[in-house]
Amino acid sequence: MPAWLPLVLFFAKLPLDDVALHKVEMRIAGPLAMVEVWRAVEASVRPAGGRQVGSYFDVDLPAHAALLDWQVVEGRRRNATWLAPRSEVEANAALGIALKMRHLSLPAAPVEEGTDFRVHLVPIADSERAVLHYRYAALAGCRDGRFVLRVPASLEDNPVPAEVSVTIEPLPDWRPLAEASFLGRPVELRPGARQLVVRGTAPARAVWEIAWAHAKPPGTLPSAAAVAGARVVGVGSANGRARKVPRYVLAGLACGVDKAAEPPAPTRVVLLVDRSRSVGQGGMSAGRALAREVILNLPPSVPFNAILFGGQAEPLFALPRLPTREALDAFTNAADPNRLQNGTDVVAALGRVPTLLGGEERTGTTWIVLVTDGALPANQTSARMQAALQSLDARRLKVLVLFVRQYGDEEVPEAAVAEYARFAGQFGGMVRVVGAGNAGENARAILAEMARGGDLLEVRLEDGKLADTLPPGRGKGVVLTTAARLPREKRIRVWARALNGEVRAEMVPSLVQREWLAPLDEHDRGKRRAWSGATDGMAIAVMPGPAILRQPPDGVVRGRMDPGVLRNALALAFTPRARACYLSRRAVKAGDAYLHGRLKLELTLERGELHDAVVRQSTLDHPGVEECVRKAAWAVAYPRPEHRDAPTVANVNLVFRPRTPQERPPDASAMDREIELILGPLTFPNDYRDLLQDRAPAR
């Protein structure tokens, strides 16, 4: 049967007079869902603020979803019209022409941020009715080891409940369904069921969802995972000539599952607490409280030590101490929020760990708990972090990276999370952004997740990365294009790093139609889509929602800071230090006594922390003063640029000159002052003949 024949049969029985029609059909294959929606609409003219506007409504799609196409069915003859895919500019121009022909205006209501599309209906004749049929592909999400497709609430003014039909297709590797729920209620499964068909009525306004889980895939991967693939046509080159080559699009999803395993508690714990200026006083207090609670919730027989680091790393104890009240109070006093430092040298802090352990790491398990805000300088790479611990047995080390930020700060940059995840991936453990809340509850949740196996780190699907870190109970999906062949018998490899080393799983991908995956691939690459078209009774334009601002081409988001705030900080703290560098200079040559010139210093600031200070220009010609001024910049406490992680570049222009002006060298001629008096101010006569005669000029 042709693929379009069911649509024709459905349209033949479609009640166009029923304006309450709202029907949703969903087909699920692996981690992918193809969703088809039929919605009766009416195009009419309405007054709004002294203007005449057409009909419109907003469409919100599930996360990781992309629209495929739109179709309009209108009239008693059931005429079907496909909307043509357009660029955003072309669709906007077509909408403007249709509005101008009807003397209508654009709706004044703005599109809310986060809304995916706005559908404009311009009536050619008032009160025209039609049925919109659109399709979108969606990649499911994860929750507690299950796949979840969450459909957002309707954004229409007067929404209508939807008649929903869901079909979960069988997997090609014959793994049966383990559980499923629809509209918040469990679905009864037949023993060994591989396919599921359920129907129901979705609420008019509320969010609704479908959740399901298959049996665990073969392998050691402690997760639920699924892969779908489709063949596409790519462009390659051979002998310098372009040619079409077969390529494939893969959609993969892995979900973390809470394990019942209970690994033993660590033998010892080493706390690495970041006290750089970027942490801030509030962040330092929160990080100190979390680290203390982690120690308190471990067995009292587990000793600990701490290394506080900023630009320098300082161990707290010479030897590990049991978590007595005295030892914990010593840690609390050392982690003083008023003693922050410039610089974030994680590598130096990790380099002190082997010395602190002193060979004891050969027995038992050592936890390295790193508490930081995630502001990571460019020279602090995962490779250097791993090299700092290369003298230790990696099998006996577990790394917990806990990101803690004070209230109001931006989220931890993804690049920093990825860098720390690569570092922790060699040892296994956890990489976690700790939210605001009770420190004791957060610490107990962290230890409970470590007891269940920690995070899956560096989760990969073939050659593409699914996620840097995969917390238990959560998941990550990705759509990627690969040159790998996808015959039905080939298995796709999924692997990750866990507490006990590398874990793997293999599965046969669900083969789907190319149109399911191509829009998702375009969506992940940031391509914006639009549609427009017209029927006998209305013109329709589907416009994308507000664009999400992305980073500039160089990948660096520039920060913003009130110049007055920074100027005051530099005037009060930095200028006296720069003046001291000038006054304490060594006079090597005669010109050094009256040294004068200009110096331009460039400061790179991030989260109130100085990352770099460079002398860009100088006319002093005195390396000692220039180096002293550059070093003096590291001793200053800088303000934060409105709680932004983006770097701020400040240019400081300094002018150096002696307070006592330089005296002119004396003139050896005894006549100079006398000549100066003679050639002083002259009074010219009215009659120049007086200069030739020895007489006073006439007055």
**Which residue from 26, 32, 30 is spatially nearest to 139, judged by alpha carbons?**
32
Q: For the residues 671-681, what does the mean pLDDT come to?
A: 49
378 neighbors 556 (Cβ within 8 angstroms): no
* Model confidence band, residue 303 (pLDDT cutoffs 50, 70, 90): very high
Six token digits for residue 134: 């659109």
Q: Which pLDDT score, from 0 to 100, does residue 614 have?
A: 86
646, pLDDT greater than 80? no
* Model confidence band, residue 478 (pLDDT cutoffs 50, 70, 90): low
Q: For the residues 593-603, what does the mean pLDDT come to?
A: 84
Share of the chain above pLDDT 70, in %: 77
Partnered with residue 304 across adjacent β-strands are 269, 321
Q: Which pLDDT score, from 0 to 100, does residue 5 have?
A: 39
136 neighbors 66 (Cβ within 8 angstroms): yes
264, pLDDT greater than 80? no
Secondary structure of residue 273 in the 3-state scheme = strand
Q: For the residues 232-244, what does the mean pLDDT come to?
A: 55
Measured CA to CA, the distance from residue 570 to residue 577 in angstroms comes to 10
157, pLDDT greater than 60? yes
* Predicted TM-score (pTM) of this structure: 0.67
Q: DSSP letter string over 303-372?
A: -EEEEEESSSEEES-SS-B---HHHHHHHHHHS-TT--BS---HHHHHHTHHHHHTTGGGSS-EEEEEEE
Fold of 280-451: Rossmann fold (3.40.50)
* Model confidence band, residue 76 (pLDDT cutoffs 50, 70, 90): low
* Model confidence band, residue 584 (pLDDT cutoffs 50, 70, 90): confident
254, pLDDT greater than 80? no
260, pLDDT greater than 90? no
Secondary structure of residue 613 in the 3-state scheme = strand
246 vs 410 pLDDT, higher one:
410
Write out pLDDT tens, residues 79-136: 788 999 998 889 889 999 888 888 888 887 787 777 888 899 998 877 788 899 999 9
478 vs 557 pLDDT, higher one:
478
Measured CA to CA, the distance from residue 162 to residue 45 in angstroms comes to 26
Write out pLDDT tens, residues 341-374: 888 899 999 999 998 888 776 778 899 999 999 8
Q: Which pLDDT score, from 0 to 100, does residue 512 have?
A: 80
Measured CA to CA, the distance from residue 312 to residue 301 in angstroms comes to 30
How many Cα atoms occupy the beta-carbon half-sphere of 125 within 13 Å? 8
162, pLDDT greater than 50? yes
Q: For the residues 377-386, what does the mean pLDDT come to?
A: 90
381, pLDDT greater than 50? yes
Domain limits, CATH 3.30.2420, in the chain? 563-656
Q: What is the mean pLDDT of the chain?
A: 79
Q: Which pLDDT score, from 0 to 100, does residue 679 have?
A: 47
Q: For the residues 506-525, what does the mean pLDDT come to?
A: 75
228 neighbors 509 (Cβ within 8 angstroms): yes
Write out pLDDT tens, residues 2-23: 443 344 344 444 444 454 688 9
140 neighbors 31 (Cβ within 8 angstroms): yes
Domain limits, CATH 3.40.50.410, in the chain? 280-451
Q: C-alpha distances in angstroms, 27 versus 30, 153, 164, 169, 210? A: 10, 20, 11, 7, 11
Secondary structure of residue 111 in the 3-state scheme = coil
**Which residue from 259, 224, 231 is spatially nearest to 245, judged by alpha carbons?**
231
Burial class (CB in 10 A: 0-12, 13-18, 19+), 242: exposed
* Range in 34-38, 249-253, 346-350 the model is least confident about: 249-253
Q: Which pLDDT score, from 0 to 100, does residue 664 have?
A: 62
* Range in 178-187, 354-363, 379-388, 532-541 the model is least confident about: 354-363
How many Cα atoms occupy the beta-carbon half-sphere of 408 within 13 Å? 10
Q: Which pLDDT score, from 0 to 100, does residue 234 have?
A: 54
> Which region, left, alpha or beta, applies to residue 328 given φ > 0 means left and ψ of -120 to 50 means alpha?
alpha
Q: Give the range with max mean pLDDT: 513-527, 571-585, 640-654, 660-674.
A: 571-585
CATH number, domain 563-656, options 3.30.2420, 3.30.70, 3.40.50, 3.30.1560: 3.30.2420
Q: Which pLDDT score, from 0 to 100, does residue 42 have?
A: 87
Q: Which pLDDT score, from 0 to 100, does residue 10 have?
A: 44
Q: DSSP letter string over 666-679?
A: PP--SSHHHHHHHT
290 vs 377 pLDDT, higher one:
290
Dihedral (CA of 330, 336, 339, 344) sign: positive
568, pLDDT greater than 80? no
Q: Which pLDDT score, from 0 to 100, does residue 325 have?
A: 92
Q: DSSP letter string over 163-214?
A: EEEEEEPPPTT-PPEEEEEETTEE----TT---EEEEEEE-SSS-EEEEEEE
Q: Which pLDDT score, from 0 to 100, does residue 338 have?
A: 87
Share of the chain above pLDDT 90, in %: 20
Secondary structure of residue 392 in the 3-state scheme = coil
Contacts of 511 (CB under 8 A, 6+ apart): 172, 228, 229, 230, 486, 488
Q: C-alpha distances in angstroms, 406 versus 67, 282, 337, 373, 374? A: 39, 5, 12, 9, 12
Q: Which pLDDT score, from 0 to 100, does residue 551 have?
A: 45
676, pLDDT greater than 90? no
* Model confidence band, residue 549 (pLDDT cutoffs 50, 70, 90): very low
Q: Which pLDDT score, from 0 to 100, does residue 563 have?
A: 64
